[in-house]
Every structure is written in structure tokens, then in C-alpha cells.
């Protein structure tokens, strides 16, 4: 087995950078999964970043502020967000229905969630909607965006240290490029995929506690796969494949069903979504937009795919559908609905005041994203 010489100046500088970046961070545990995580932001700081990002995103979108479809989304959102644990059940959740053909949804720290109308046909019914909203809420509860920010601070410190250590070598540019690729593939992307799986797990619990049939959680991904498109190469994918998500969600059904049986009201799959009420998407807004989501480092966390390192939100490696440990860094955001192909990733209130939000409802903060960004794209 090979060893690393800690006396090497490059290693020493990298260790110092990591220590400075993480030394004053708080260590928490993710609810339900028990995964340990390190975050450098307070909940209040996350919420402010999320609010700023949400304002920016919505300014560039067409929001559906009222009507039967809005009310349907708001009601399901409220039921799911109410099941978030403390302290996230003290957030003022805000769910917005966005008229955009993107097959996506996203979450931002502080309980800001956006749902694109383009994903509604795939969700099909209220249980499918609850699955995606639960995933977004999971990003917030697991504070994936804060982890991404913390991880990015550590990564930047380590790369800066490496840059100093290599400054006098002829291979400086080439080696730094390789280090960047290694950081992205070895740290950022795996964490992103883990965060997505963790949010899937949390979302299954929240939808079940809200009284929606948990089997619809994996059925949604089967419908997503049916939309077509090939899967990205696994090692370079920011999200787990649809097949992997389906496998994990099926494995976790015993846990989900336990919560479903304990729900006071059982809605089953609920009513079909009122897709017939979706107005034509404004010109210029289509499936190319829509990936974002709760963001860290500036962008959002989206269900279409949380991102880390500019890709998605998800930190920590996960097992059994639950996230493992690890902090991911990123610039975009996390999201729960992912693209129709195999990448998915990335967290209710209800009101008819123009936002599918829950005036003073419970919520959580963080899939996932702080920052001011437009979480678009695919999840």
C-alpha cells in the first residue's frame, strides 16, 4: 500500500488550506439518515442567500400566481413541507409554479422551491408531485447547498496551496489542470450523486408522512426514463442514473411504507394533475431552462439535478438511498427533478396570494442552495 509523505510542502500546504477552510465549521447530522456533515454557514445566512437567489430567478420567469392548478400544487406542497423536522419546520416555505417547459424543479435554502410546468406531465398525479417536492424539501433539510459552499472553500484552499507548491515547475499548467479534473471527478461529482440519493430517500419519507403512496417515487423515474435519451457516462455524471434511483427507491420502500401506514390521512396517488390548465409557455422559455435549484456558491438547487462544482448539489456518498458523508462544492444548485435522460438531482407552503407558498408554514432550509443564481437546466 502506498503512503503519502506528509512532509512534502505540497501536502503540508493542502492540509493547512483544508484546516483553515473547515476548522471553524459546524458538524451536524442529517435528519433521518444520521449522516455527519460539515457546514460553514448558519441557517440564517443560508436562508438569506436562498431568498436573494429566488428573487433573481423569479424575475426572469413567468410565475402562475393563482388558479386551480396553482392551488393543487400549493396544497400538496404544504402537506409535504409540514413533515419536515425541526428546525426546518419553522421556515416560511415558498413554492412557486413557473410556466416553463423545462422538465425540472429546484430548491433553495430557506425553503424556496420552484416547480416548472414542464415536469407536471411526467409527475402525472399528486403523489408524483409529492415525490418531487419531497425531494426538494430533502435538499433543504439536508443542507446540501451549505455543504457545497463549505466543500468549495476547502477545495479552493487546497488547489491554491497546490498552485503555490507547483509555481516553480515546468509542468505547472498541465498539473493544475489534472488536479482540477481530479477534484471535479473525485470529490465534487460523487458528492453530488450522493446528495441526490439522499434527497430521494428523505423525499420518500416526507411524501409518505404526508399520506401519498411511496411507490410513486420510483414510478416517476420510470416515466422520466421513458422520455428517452441516453445516460451520461457514470463517472462524469452529476446525478445518479434513473436506473440507480429506481433501484434505491424500491429498496427503501419498507421504510417509506412504514411512514405511510402511520399517516393520519392516506391520499394514495391522489388526483391527476390539472395539466390541461397549463397555459402556453412564454416564447423563449423552454426545456433549456430549468435546471437550478437550491444553490450554493451562487446558484440553485434543482431537482433536475443538483449541482456541485457548477453541476449539482449533493454531498456525501450515500448508501441504501441515504447520503453518506462528504461535502460537495459547487456553483449551481441542486434540484430534484432531473433531466429526462438519466441525470437527475439538488430544498411547503400553499397560498393563493400569487405564490404557491405557505404563508407561515413549516419549512426547512437548505438541496439545497444558497446564492443568487438562476437554477435552470436539467436535473
Number of domains in the chain: 1
Question: Which comes out higher in pLDDT, residue 149 or 191?
Answer: 149
- pLDDT band with cut points at 50, 70 and 90 for residue 103: very high
Q: Which of 192, 199, 295 is nearest to 234 (CA)?
A: 192
Q: Which of 69, 95, 68, 71 is nearest to 82 (CA)?
A: 95
- CA dist 133 and 363 (Å) reads 12
Any domain includes 93:
yes
Any domain includes 360:
no
Q: At 184, list the grid cell.
A: 471535479
Q: At 154, list the grid cell.
A: 476547502
* Phi, psi angle pair for 107, to nearest 5°: -135, 145
- pLDDT band with cut points at 50, 70 and 90 for residue 132: very high
C-alpha R_g of the chain: 20
Which of 136, 216, 334, 364 is the catalytic position?
Answer: 136
364 is catalytic: no
The listed range with the strongest mean pLDDT (121-135, 225-239, 299-313) is 121-135
Q: How far are the Cα atoms of 57, 157, 367 from residue 300, in angstroms, in the given order?
A: 9, 23, 8
Q: What is the pLDDT of residues 196-227, one digit of tens each?
A: 999 999 999 999 999 999 999 999 999 998 88
- Domain span at residue 271 reads 9-167+179-334
pLDDT at 367: 35
What one-character-per-residue DSSP string does 326-350 give?
Answer: -----SSEE-SS--SSS--------
CB 84 within 8 A of CB 141: yes
Q: What is the mean pLDDT of residues 327-331?
A: 36
Q: Which residues contact 369 (CB under 8 A, 6 or more apart)?
A: 49, 50, 53, 106, 107, 108, 109, 139, 144, 145, 148, 292, 293, 294, 295, 296, 299, 300, 301, 302, 306, 313, 333, 334, 346, 375
User: Torsion over CA of 296, 336, 259 and 247, rounded to 10 degrees?
Assistant: -120
- CA dist 154 and 18 (Å) reads 5
Any domain includes 302:
yes
pLDDT at 149: 79
Any domain includes 369:
no
Any domain includes 286:
yes
- CA dist 55 and 140 (Å) reads 17
- CA dist 372 and 56 (Å) reads 7
pLDDT at 78: 97
- CA dist 235 and 185 (Å) reads 7
Q: What is the pLDDT of residues 269-318, one digit of tens each?
A: 999 999 999 998 776 554 433 333 333 333 344 544 333 333 334 333 33
User: pLDDT above 70 covers what percent of the chain?
Assistant: 55
Any domain includes 4:
no
Q: Categorise residue 30: left if φ over 0, alpha if ψ from -120 to 50, beta otherwise.
A: beta
Any domain includes 199:
yes
Any domain includes 253:
yes
Q: What is the pLDDT of residues 19-65, one digit of tens each?
A: 444 444 568 899 999 999 988 888 998 899 899 999 999 999 999 99
User: Given the C-alpha cell 444558497, which residue does it identify?
Assistant: 370
pLDDT at 228: 67
What one-character-per-residue DSSP string does 237-298 give?
Answer: -SS--HHHHHHHHHHTHHHHHHHHHH-SS--BT-SBP-GGGPPPPPTT-STTS----EESTT
Does the N-terminal peptide bond of residue 294 adopt cis geometry, omega within 30 degrees of 0? no
pLDDT at 250: 98
CB 377 within 8 A of CB 239: no
Amino acid at each position: 500500500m502506498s503512503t503519502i509523505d506528509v512532509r512534502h510542502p505540497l501536502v503540508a500546504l493542502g492540509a493547512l488550506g483544508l484546516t483553515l477552510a473547515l476548522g471553524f465549521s459546524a458538524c451536524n447530522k442529517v435528519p433521518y439518515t444520521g449522516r455527519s456533515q460539515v457546514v460553514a454557514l448558519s441557517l440564517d445566512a443560508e436562508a438569506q442567500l436562498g431568498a436573494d437567489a429566488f428573487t433573481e430567478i423569479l424575475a426572469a420567469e413567468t410565475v402562475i400566481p393563482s388558479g386551480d392548478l396553482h392551488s393543487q400544487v400549493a396544497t400538496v406542497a404544504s402537506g409535504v413541507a409540514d413533515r419536515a423536522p425541526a428546525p426546518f419546520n419553522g421556515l416560511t416555505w415558498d413554492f412557486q409554479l413557473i410556466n416553463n417547459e423545462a422538465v425540472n424543479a429546484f430548491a433553495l435554502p430557506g425553503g424556496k422551491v420552484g416547480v416548472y410546468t414542464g415536469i407536471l406531465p411526467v409527475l402525472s398525479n399528486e403523489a408524483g408531485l409529492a415525490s418531487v417536492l419531497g425531494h426538494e424539501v430533502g435538499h433543504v433539510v439536508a443542507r446540501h447547498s451549505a455543504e457545497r459552499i463549505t466543500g468549495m472553500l476547502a477545495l479552493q484552499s487546497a488547489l491554491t496551496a497546490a498552485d503555490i507548491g507547483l509555481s516553480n515547475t515546468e509542468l505547472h499548467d498541465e498539473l493544475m489542470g489534472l488536479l482540477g479534473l481530479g477534484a471535479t471527478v473525485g470529490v465534487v461529482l460523487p458528492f453530488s450523486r450522493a446528495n441526490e440519493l439522499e434527497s430521494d430517500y428523505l423525499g420518500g419519507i416526507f411524501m409518505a408522512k404526508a399520506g401519498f403512496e411511496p411507490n410513486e417515487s420510483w414510478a416517476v423515474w420510470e416515466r422520466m426514463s421513458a422520455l428517452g435519451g441516453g445516460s451520461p457516462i457514470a463517472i462524469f455524471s452529476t446525478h445518479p442514473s434513473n436506473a440507480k434511483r429506481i433501484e434505491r427507491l424500491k429498496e427503501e420502500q419498507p421504510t417509506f411504507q412504514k411512514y405511510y401506514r402511520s399517516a393520519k390521512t392516506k391520499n394514495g396517488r391522489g388526483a391527476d394533475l390539472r395539466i390541461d390548465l397549463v397555459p402556453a409557455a412564454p416564447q423563449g422559455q423552454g426545456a433549456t431552462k430549468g435546471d437550478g435549484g437550491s444553490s450554493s456558491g451562487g446558484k440553485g438547487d434543482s431537482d433536475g439535478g443538483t449541482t456541485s462544482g457548477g453541476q449539482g448539489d449533493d454531498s456525501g456518498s450515500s448508501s441504501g438511498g441515504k447520503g453518506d458523508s462528504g461535502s460537495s462544492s459547487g456553483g449551481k444548485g441542486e434540484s430534484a427533478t432531473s433531466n429526462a435522460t438519466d441525470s437527475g438531482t439538488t430544498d411547503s407552503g400553499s397560498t393563493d396570494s400569487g405564490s404557491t407558498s405557505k404563508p407561515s408554514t413549516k419549512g426547512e432550509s437548505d438541496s439545497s442552495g444558497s446564492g443568487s443564481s438562476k437554477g435552470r437546466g436539467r436535473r
